[in-house]
Amino acid sequence: MGTDIHGFVECVVEDDEPWVAAVDIELLHHGRSYDAFGCLFGMRNFAGFRPLAEDRGLPKDVSDVVRAQFADWGVDGHSPTWISWAELKRVDWSEPAERVDARIHEYRRTDEGWVMTGKTGWDPRIAEVAGLSTVRDPGRLFRYEAHDLPEGTEWPDGDDRLYRIGRITRRDAVAPDGEWKPLWTVMETLAGLYGDERVRLTVWFDN
């Protein structure tokens, strides 16, 4: 069962006015990137980031529209939180995750060198080339996790494929020109009109 994100960009024009829901993020963002969810909000944080805004709940001054939309999700909506544009502007996107990724990285050789093509928590082929147990532990989401193997461990699979234990940066998780760019562009535009602290992203998740 996967996890999806929902929410709104909110803004306030004047300090004595209520916050309003400016735009539903479903109009701007259509991805399901667990690396980004973990980096930003601590959700599905398999990559091991220090989350920027985890479990804050709904803002105390949340807009009526957002409060109602979240309530409509009932028990299926969970883990509401928020982050301001001012906070996002201060992020060091080169910051690496606090630990190695719980998933094993897969690389393919190209004319330009090795390129990461995916991640996996379990693959019988990895176990075979690494000489590890092929018996999956049903009590764990991933067979091999961060504390099992040291960073930099590698297993070549022929001449054109490589498996590696590693960690990623915030920029890897939330690429500046990736699926989050339309959302950041809208927030930046609103912040230019009303101020960085007067624009925020309020979200929640469902499984």
Residues 17 and 90 in one domain: yes
The first and second tokens of residue 179, run together, are 């699926």
Residues 90 and 116 placed together within one structural domain of the fold: no
pLDDT at 136: 59
Same domain? For 110 and 154 the reply is yes
Tens of pLDDT, residue by residue over 126-149, are: 878 887 766 656 555 455 554 577
pLDDT in tens, 61-73: 999 999 999 999 9
pLDDT at residue 177 in the model: 94
Q: Are residues 142 and 194 in the same domain?
A: no
Could you tell me if 80 and 16 lie in one domain? yes
Count the domains in the chain. Answer: 2
Q: Cα 141 to the chain's mean position, in Å? A: 18
pTM: predicted TM-score of the whole model, two decimal places:
0.89
Residues 6+ apart with CB under 8 A from 44: 3, 34, 37, 38
What's the confidence (pLDDT) of residue 71?
98
Asked if 73 contacts 128 with a C-beta cutoff of 8 angstroms, the reply is no
What is the structure's pLDDT at 102? 87
| Same domain as 155, residue 63 | no
Q: How many residues does the chain have?
A: 207
Alpha-carbon distance of 144 to 151, in angstroms, equals 12
Domain shared by 150 and 120, yes or no:
yes
145 and 180 in a common domain: no
| Residue 55 and residue 151 in one domain | no
Full residue range of the structural domain in which residue 123 is found: 104-164
pLDDT-based confidence at residue 83 (cuts at 50, 70, 90): very high
Q: Which two tokens stand for residue 169?
A: 């940066």
Same domain, 90 and 187: yes
Strand ranges (E), 44-147: 78-84, 104-110, 113-120
Are 186 and 143 found together in one domain?
no
Phi, psi for residue 186 in degrees, rounded to 5: -65, -45
Q: What is the dihedral of CA 164, 170, 173, 176, to 10 degrees?
A: -130
> Which two three-digit tokens encode residue 67?
């409060």
Q: How confident is the model at residue 1 (pLDDT cuts 50, 70, 90)?
A: low
Average pLDDT over residues 8-36: 95
Answer yes or no: do 183 and 89 share one domain: yes
- Number of neighbours of residue 181 by Cβ within 10 angstroms: 14
| Spatial contact of 151 and 165, defined as CB atoms under 8 Å apart | yes
pLDDT of residue 141: 47
138 in the Ramachandran plot: left (φ > 0), alpha (ψ -120 to 50) or beta? alpha
Element (H, E) at 50: none
CA atoms of 131 and 69, how far apart (whole Å): 50
Which tens digits make up the pLDDT trace of 13-22? 998 899 999 9
